[in-house]
Amino acid sequence: MRLTLFDLDHTLLPLDSDYAWGQFTVKLGWRDEADFGRANDRFYQAYKDGTLDIHEYVRFATDAVRERGMAVAQAAHERFMAEVIRPAMTEQARALVRAHQAAGDTVVIVTATNEFVTRPIARAFGVDELIAIDLATGPDGAITGDIRGIPSFRQGKVLRVEQWLADRGLRWSDLQHTTFYSDSPNDLPLLEKVHEPVATNPDERLSAVARERGWRILQLFE
């Protein structure tokens, strides 16, 4: 197997889908704009700084879905896809995914954003395999705000990919070639694990690491 892994936010998308979904719930009137904005900005800055408490953030990020119920939230997400996500999906990003698929690679999106937000986005890119934050559910099937299993965040991305491989009877050593595209230094554990790390639309910190280590740098949206 040749395995190609993609981060999602600011890698394949020129935006953060979790942040954008939060802003969309404000637009729908589900959240107070000022209060939500302050909290959302605080979490987003913590993510960029590498200090995010992923469990606290997921509880915050799923508040609106839990309060409105899954049926209402899914209908809103369809609007979110049409109004926010699909217009942001560039041909350059679509073409990159298609090129790896055409080459016979197995393509997986590996993201620290939760599965409710990202599953439809992965499908829109034509990617069936998604590793995202899995959401715990209660006896009634409603999401609880907790994370199920290992969160696909920082070192957790490596562990989740290993789980994904193990489910298929594979290990890293069985793979002919592995590639990972990411914009974030939060993803250094997985970037360091693959054969071909690609710093994609990287921030200053990841750019510096990539230059020092001789990694390819890709500016996908220029």
Q: Which residues are catalytic?
A: 7, 9
Q: Is 160 within 8 Å of 152 (Cβ atoms)?
A: yes
Opening angle at CA 48, ends 137 and 150, nearest 5:
30
Within 13 Å of residue 154, how many CA atoms lie on the same side as its CB?
A: 9
> What's at 145, amino acid-wise?
G
For tokens 């360091």, name the residue: 192
Q: Is 132 within 8 Å of 149 (Cβ atoms)?
A: no
Can you list the positions of beta strands (E) in 7-76? none
> What's at 214, amino acid-wise?
G
Can you list the positions of beta strands (E) in the chain? 2-6, 106-114, 129-133, 135-137, 143-147, 177-182, 196-200, 216-218
For tokens 């939500």, name the residue: 36
Cα–Cα nearest to 17, from 26, 8, 4: 8
Give the total residue count for the chain.
Answer: 222
Rg (C-alpha) for the chain, rounded Å, is 17
